[in-house]
Amino acid sequence: MAAKLKITQTRSTISHIARNRATVKALGLHGIGSTSVISDNPATRGMVRQVHFLVSVEEIAEGEKKSAGVQAGAGRGGDEHASERTGVRESARGANDDPGRTDAGNEEKA
């Protein structure tokens, strides 16, 4: 059984050299919290070693790949995060966002 590596980006690549940014991107990571499942071989181990301070790594067996694949998509804004974004957006709406309400400025223009 070939093992897999579950790699999660834990720190930002801002203010790091371009080589490190490119390595993180080559590992399939797009931002903090994104997760990628890749095969475990010497090449990927070397890439992870080069950016070890930006990522966290877990070894997973081949049988666990299916369950880890579902979790890997969640780091990119899956459905469970959509409700959080919607809730924040609705709670952040102010009284001026109500289309039925008129402001003093709107009455003067009318």
| pLDDT, tens digit, 9 for 90 and up, residues 62-95 | 766 555 444 444 444 444 444 444 444 444 455 5
- What is the spatial distance between Cα 58 and Cα 49, in angstroms, rounded to a whole number? 13
- What is the spatial distance between Cα 62 and Cα 77, in angstroms, rounded to a whole number? 25
Q: Which domains does the chain have, with CATH numbers?
A: 4-91 (3.30.1390.20)
- Write out the two tokens for 41: 């071989």
Question: 8-48, pLDDT tens digit by residue?
Answer: 999 999 999 999 999 999 999 999 999 999 999 999 999 99
pTM: 0.55
Q: Cα–Cα–Cα angle for 29, 31, 37, nearest 5°?
A: 30
Listed in sequence order, the residues at least 6 apart from 3 whose beta carbon sits closer than 8 Å to its beta carbon are 39, 40, 59, 60, 61, 62
Tell me if 1 sits within 8 A of 38, measured CB to CB: no
